[in-house]
Structure formats: C-alpha cells, structure tokens
Structure 1
Amino acid sequence: MGIRLSEDQIAGFRRDGYVTGIPVLAPAEVAELVARTEAFEAERPQDVAWAFDIKANLLLDWVYRLGCHARLLDAVEDLIGPDILMTNAVYRNKSPGSPVDYGWHQDGARIRVEPAFVIAYVALSPATPGNGGLRGLPGSHDRIRPFSLTEGPGQRRRLVARVLEVDESQAVDFQLGPGEAVIFHCNLVHGSAPNRGTTRRMALLYDFTPAAARQDVGRGSGQLVRGRDRWGHFAPEPLPEPGLTEANVLGRRRILSTYHENVLLGPRLPGETVTFPDRPF
C-alpha cells in the first residue's frame, strides 16, 4: 500500500503505464485555479501563449503551488520515490472548436531520462473524448517506438516526436472530472484530438522526475518539491514570485537558455539556434 495509491493502482501503473481517476483538488480549489487562469487571460491576453507554455511553474506562482499539492505529490511518490523534482508545467487548454491535435507521441523519446519521469495531467474541467481529452495506449511505455519529427501544433519551430505506427483500436480515454488527475509514464504513447464539443477543456500538466535521474543528452533543471537532491544531476531552478514579474520572466529565460537540452525542447541539432516562447520584458 502506498501513501496515496493502492497496491492495485501501483501494479497497474507498472503494467499499463498509467493510473487514472486520482482525486487531487476539492471543488473550491478547482474554482480558484480556473478563476486565476481566466483572470490572467482577460488581463494579459498578449502573454497567454508563452506564459502558459514551457515551464509555466517558473512564471506563475499558482502553477508552482499546484505542483506542490500534497495529494498530488503523495501519488507521485508512490510511483517514483520520495525525492522529486518538478521539471516542467504547462497549460493544455482547448476551446470549443479548437483544431489542435496532439498526435501520438512519447515525451521521453528525444532525450532519455533514467530513472524515468512521470507526467501528471490535472483536469480543471471535464476531460472527455468529445472535448479533446487525453488518450493513451496501455503497455506502450515498455520501449521507445520509431518516430518522425514534426513541428508541434501552435508551437512554431519546436520539434516533437510523432510515433509512426499506432493501433488506435487499443487506445483508452482518460476521462476525468474537474480536480482529478491521471499520472502516466513518460514513455506511454499518448495524444489528444481536437475539441469537437461545446465546452472548454482546461488542464495543467506536470513533469515529475526522480532526483536521482540522469539525462542521456545535456543537463536538465528542476525545482525540488519533495525529499532531497543528493545527486545534483539536474540544475536547481528558482521559485516564482507572486504574479508575472520581471524576476520570474528573467529567471525562466536564464534557465531555458542555459539548460536548453531538456525533454521539452529536445537535443540541440547542429547549427540550431535555441528558441522557446518568450517576450521581452
């Protein structure tokens, strides 16, 4: 029996590569996060695209705090151990009619991390097949599949690994209510379709990495959110101040410029210029 998860849930994760339907947030907590998100969108629409993207946990204090939520970290600890780094957080929102299709991919394909990290999808709205909810292929985390590189949807010049052959008949939908999470292995083949429904899909996704882990290319960075880092394989990251401050923007810029070879941006290709979403402050 784990801290948060049952033995069956932990065994299911080892076998299938995911555990879903984990209660994380109370309704009031969901409402507060949705209100903060929508207030930011209304007040700073010009900053939404980049501030909600790579390492939003370095920019927005409420994103960082959710990644430190005890109920979430308890479940993560049951899967990867007590020494935990938060190595990324991003919003993944889809408005009704959004054509964004995150094709089948494995987040650990371009840069390998051992021991492997996990990804937590925390739903701030219902996640359903109709509104572009997440899907995954059980058991597909056993190895990296052959892939091709393509530009990510809405992410100009960022290359993402798309799995070449997928038997979609084997896929399962991770249907979630607001405040619930699915946690999956970084090598699980997963994706999500366009939002063909009438409701907005809102979610925050987090990468949680064992502090003992190493990358096979470059050096990553992260915020220690539980336990100790006795290894120092990942560079430490600053904690965000309240609000989208100059210090937060410059801190994120420094981290992504210095530690640009990470699972988010991939290995640096010959002659490639490091690019990431940003705006002069």
Structure 2
Amino acid sequence: MGKFLSEAQIEGFARDGFVSRLPVLSPAEVEHLTALTEAFERERPGDTSWAFDIKANLLFDWVYDLGRHPRLLDAVEDLIGPDILMTNATFRIKNPGSHVDYGWHQDSARIEVTPSFVIAYVALSPATIENGCLQVIPATHDRVRPFSLTEGPGQRKRLVARVIDVDSTKAVNLELEPGDVAIFHGNAVHGSPANISAMRRVAILYDFTPAAGRQNIGTGSGQLVRGSDPHGHWGHEPVPEAGLTEANVLNRRRILSTYHENVLMGPRLPGETVTFPDRPY
C-alpha cells in the first residue's frame, strides 16, 4: 500500500502505464481554481495563449501551489519515489466545438528521461468521450516508438512527435469528474480527439520528474516540490510571486532561454532559433 495508491493501482501503472480516476481535489478546490482560471481569461484575454502554455507554474503562484497539493504528490511519490521535481505545468482547454486533435504521441519521444517522468492530468471540468477526453494505449510505455515530426495544433513553430503506427482499437478513454486526476508514464502513447460537445473541457497538466532522472539530450529544469535533489542533473527554478508579475514573466523567459532543451520544446536543431510562447517584446 502506497501513501495514496493501492497496491493494485501501483501494479496497474507498472503494467499499463497509467492510473486514473484518482479523487484528489474537493469540489470547493475545483470551484476556486476554476474561478481563478476564468478570471484571468476574462481580465487578460490577450495573454492566455502564452501564459497558459509551457511552464505556467513559473507564472502563476496558484498553478505552482496546485502542483504541490499533498494528495497529488502522495500519488506521484507512489510511482516515482520521494524526490520530485515539477518540470512543467500547462493548461489544456478545449472549448465547445474545438477541432484541436492531439494525435497519438509520447511526451518523451524527442528527449528521453531515465528514470522517466510522469504526467498528471488534473481535471477542472468533466472529461468525457464527447468533449475530447484523454485516451491512452495501454502497455506502450516500455520504449519510444517510431515517430514523425509535425507542427503542433495551436503551438506555432513547435514541432511535436506523432507515433507512426498505433492500434487505436486498444485505446482507453480516461473519463474524469472535476477534481479527478489521471497519471500516465512519460512514454505512454496518448492523445485526445476534438470536442464535439457543448461542454468545455478544462485541465492542467503537470510533469513530475524524479530528481535522479537524466535527459539523454540537453539539461532540463524544475522546481523541487518534495524530498531533496542530491544529484544536480536539473536546473532549479524559482517559486513565482503572487499574480502575473514582471518578475515571473522574466524568470520564465530566463529559464526557457537557458534550459531550452526540455521535453516540451525538444532538442535544438542545427541553426534553430529558440522560440517559446511569450508576450510581445
């Protein structure tokens, strides 16, 4: 028995590469986080496209705080051990009628991490088949599959890996209620289809990496959120101030410019200029 997960759930993760429907947040917590999300969208609509993207945990103190939620970290610890870095947080929002289709991919395809990181999908709204819930192909986390590169939907200039040969008949739909969490292995083949419903789908995705992990290309960075880091394989990131402050924006820009070879941005190609979502400057 782990801190949060049962032995059956831990064994299932080792076998299938994911565990789902973990009740982490209370209804009051979901309501509070939803209010913060919607308030920012309402008050600063011109900033959501970049501020809700890569390393949102460096911009919003409440996104950082959610990533340190004790129940969430207990579940993560059961899977990757006690020394945990938060290496990314990004919003995944699909509005009604959105045609965005995140094709089959592995987050670790372009830069592998050993031991692997995990991704936690924190649902702030229902995730259903109709509104484009996450889908995972079980037992695909053992290795990186052959892939092709394409420009990601809604992610201008960012190359993303798409797995070439997928048996989609084996896909499992991870339907969730608000406050539920699904955690999947960095190698797990996953995707999510378009939102064909009238219901908005809102989630925050976190990457959690064991401090002992190492990238096979470049150096990543993260915030130490549990345990210690005696290894020194990662650059350490600052804790954000309250609000979307100038200091937070500049710190995120500095981190992404310094540690630009990370699993979200991929390896730097010959002659490539480092680009990432940011405010106009």
Do the structures match in fold with TM over 0.5?
yes
Question: Cα RMSD over matched residues?
Answer: 0.6
Q: Secondary structure at the match of 2:4?
A: coil
Q: Which residue identity lines up with residue 51 of structure 1 in the other structure?
A: A
The corresponding residue for 1:240 is 240
Q: Distance in 2 between matches of 1:142 and 1:217?
A: 19
The answer for the alignment partner of 1:174 in structure 2 is: 174
Q: Which amino acid aligns with 1:253?
A: R
Q: Distance in 2 between matches of 1:179 and 1:264?
A: 25
Q: 2:189 matched to which residue of 1?
A: 189
Cα deviations across residues 138-189 of structure 1 (Å, max 9, x unaligned)?
Answer: 0011111110000000100000000001111000000000000000000000
* In structure 2, C-alpha distance between the alignment counterparts of 1:221 and 1:143, rounded to whole Å: 23
2:270 aligned partner:
270
d(CA) in 2 for partners of 1:60 and 1:280?
Answer: 19
Aligned to 2:79: 79
- Counterpart residue number, 2:206: 206
**Deviations, residues 201-243 of structure 1 (Å, cap 9, x unaligned):** 0000000000011101000000000000001100000000011
SS at match of 1:231: coil
Question: Deviations for 1:12-56, whole angstroms, at most 9, x for unmatched residues?
Answer: 000000000101100000000000000000000000000000000
The amino acid that maps onto 2:21 is: G
Q: List aligned pairs for 1:101-250, cutoff 5 A.
A: 101-250=101-250
2:228 and 2:23 map into 1 onto residues whose CA distance is 26
CA deviation profile, 1:33-84 (whole Å, cap 9, x unmatched): 0000000000000000000000000001111010000000000000000000
Q: Distance in 1 between matches of 2:24 and 2:49?
A: 26
Give me the TM-score of the superposition, normalised by structure 2.
0.99
Instruction: Look up the SS of the partner of 1:202 in the other structure.
Output: strand
| Structure 1 residue identity aligned to 2:53 | D
Aligned counterparts of 1:275 and 1:181: Cα–Cα separation in 2:
30
What code does the residue aligned with 2:51 have? A
| Residue 280 (structure 1) shift | 3.9
CA distance in 1, matches of 2:101, 2:218: 29
State how far apart, in whole Å, the 1-side matches of 2:171 and 2:264 are. 24
CA distance in structure 1 between the aligned counterparts of 2:212 and 2:143, rounded to whole angstroms: 21
Q: Does 1:33 align with 2:29?
A: no
**1:168, 1:114 → 2: CA distance?**
27
Runs of 5+ consecutive residues of structure 2 not aligned to the other structure? none
Amino acid at match of 1:147: F
Distance in 1, Cα, partners of 2:155 & 2:138: 27
Secondary structure of the corresponding residue to residue 279 of structure 2: coil
SS at match of 2:130: coil
What is the TM-score normalised by the length of structure 1?
0.99
**TM-superposed deviation, 1:117:** 0.3
Partner in structure 2 of residue 63 of structure 1: 63
CA distance in 1, matches of 2:62, 2:100: 25
The one-letter code sitting in structure 2 at the alignment partner of 1:194 is A
Separation in structure 1 between the aligned mates of residue 54 and residue 158 of structure 2, nearest angstrom: 11
**Whole-angstrom CA distance in 1 between matches of 2:184 and 2:173:** 13
Query: Which letter maps to 2:254?
Result: R
Identity, % of aligned positions: 72
Runs of 4 or more above 6 Å deviation: none
2:90 aligned residue: 90
**Secondary structure of 1:208's match?**
strand
Cα distance in 1 for residues equivalent to 2:172 and 2:128: 11
In 2, distance between residues paired with 1:61 and 1:195?
Answer: 29
Distance in 2 between residues matched to 1:194 and 1:63, nearest whole Å = 25
Aligned length: 281
What CA distance in whole angstroms lies between the structure 1 residues aligned with 2:196 and 2:60?
A: 29
**SS across alignment from 1:207:** strand
